[in-house]
Amino acid sequence: MRIMKRPNILLTGTPGVGKTTLGKELAERTGLTYVNVGDLAQEDQLFDGFDEEYQCPILDEDKVVDELEDKMTDGGVIVDYHGCDFFPERWFHIVFVLRTDNTNLYNRLESRGYTGKKLQDNVQCEIFQTIYEEAMEAYKEEIVHQLPSNNPEDLERNLEQIMNWIEQWMKDNN
Ligand code: ADP
Ligand code: MG
């Protein structure tokens, strides 16, 4: 049996923009494999030190890359993480940076329990479009796309858009 080639998709953006919501639903509808890098690091303890200021463990980026390499080579993976500059460029066929309006994001992060500097810094990260710029630096500009992620209509539109792209990619590459 010939195995169909399937694309690898990166979903990135500031915490709270909706990466996990979109990624899990997309995996459900397409059968692609969803990987949440934060959860993976937690489960397999892929950390290197502790950030005192933010009171959280620091990701061991090299260990994450090593751990994911084989899966990424096989293809058909949706990766979800709030950073993107340490993944090998060759892994991804397309990169989506989710974007959310400030007030909306503030409310989501507050209801997630974020307060003080953590809340401020994350909202600022979105205002300064830090992750979008990181993605534009790390990947070819033509594969980086911003997606609005403010309401359920946006979610549905994003799902349909990505599923159409996957379908076309599969036609072109198999
Ligand atoms: P991330 O994984 O980027 O941190 P989540 O997927 O956990 O973000 O979403 C953060 C919060 O925003 C959740 O409460 C989720 O239900 C909500 N959310 C995500 N996407 C949307 C959307 N398109 N419209 C409305 N709420 C959303
Ligand atoms: Mg998430």
* Annotated binding residue 116: no
Q: Is residue 142 included in any domain, yes or no?
A: yes
93 lines ligand 1 (CB under 6 A): no
Q: How many CB atoms lie under 10 A from the CB of residue 122?
A: 22
Q: Is residue 43 included in any domain, yes or no?
A: yes
151 lines ligand 1 (CB under 6 A): yes
Task: Say if residues 37 and 91 touch (Cβ distance below 8 Å).
Answer: no
Q: Confirm whether the ipTM is greater than 0.90.
A: yes
Q: How far is the C-alpha of 117 from the C-alpha of 124, rounded, in Å?
A: 10
16 lines ligand 1 (CB under 6 A): yes
Q: Is residue 133 included in any domain, yes or no?
A: yes
Tell me how far the alpha carbon of residue 80 lies from the centroid of ligand 1, in angstroms: 13
Q: Is residue 120 included in any domain, yes or no?
A: yes
- Domain that includes residue 148, residue range: 9-173
Strand 56-59, strand 77-80: pairing:
unpaired
Q: Is residue 4 included in any domain, yes or no?
A: no
Tell me how far the alpha carbon of residue 80 lies from the centroid of ligand 2, in angstroms: 7
Q: How far is the C-alpha of 141 from the C-alpha of 77, rounded, in Å?
A: 21
Q: Any idea what the CATH number is for the domain that residue 159 is in? A: 3.40.50.300
Write the DSSP string, the chain: -PPPP---EEEE-STTSSHHHHHHHHHHHH-PEEEEHHHHHHHHT-EEEEETTTTEEEE-HHHHHHHHHHHHHH--EEEE-S--TTS-GGG-SEEEEEE--HHHHHHHHHHTT--HHHHHHHHHHHHTTHHHHHHHHHS-GGGEEEEE-SSHHHHHHHHHHHHHHHHHHHHHH-
For tokens 């359920």, the residue is 152
Entry pTM: 0.97
Whose atoms come closest to the Cα of 24: which ligand? Answer: 1
Q: Is residue 2 included in any domain, yes or no?
A: no
Q: Is residue 31 included in any domain, yes or no?
A: yes
Q: Is residue 153 included in any domain, yes or no?
A: yes
Q: How far is the C-alpha of 96 from the C-alpha of 44, rounded, in Å?
A: 26
Domain count, the chain: 1
21 lines ligand 1 (CB under 6 A): yes
Q: How far is the C-alpha of 109 from the C-alpha of 71, rounded, in Å?
A: 31
Q: What is the pLDDT along the chain (174 residues), one digit of tens a residue?
A: 678 999 999 999 999 999 999 999 999 999 999 999 999 999 999 999 999 887 889 999 999 999 999 999 999 999 999 999 999 999 999 999 999 999 999 999 999 999 999 999 999 999 999 999 999 999 999 999 999 999 999 999 999 999 999 999 999 999
